[in-house]
Amino acid sequence: MLELRVSNTDRYALALRADGVLEIRRYRAGIATVLASTLGGVPDLTNWASFTFTVQGTSPVTLTGSVNGTVNGTVKVRAQDSSVSALTGAGAAGIAATASGILFDNFTLTGL
């Protein structure tokens, strides 16, 4: 998962599940809400893939997840969060793994 945090328990996440589904999630007070999901477009989950997660705005919060690069990457999943639970504050970025054996390489954080 790529995560953009507002606090220790409140964050947005772009997650690639073990079945190949790509999800945009909101975690508020530790409770996950799936905002959007689709087939991830990663043909081989045992091979390298690159992901881009973009979160912009406050009303609504616009979220996009791209697969295989930022320049030539394909936006696979989009969501808009205009609910009362939307996360509108600034935060930090991070990476998380929910299973062992997941490898990460070349993490780049870009602010606009």
Q: For 9, what's the count of Cα atoms within 13 Å in the CB-facing half-sphere?
A: 5
Q: Where is pLDDT greater, at 72 or 55? A: 55
Mean pLDDT score across all residues of the chain: 84
pLDDT of residue 26: 96
Which of the four pLDDT bands, split at 50, 70 and 90, describes residue 50? confident
Q: Identify which has the larger pLDDT, 66 or 103.
A: 66
pTM of the model: 0.84
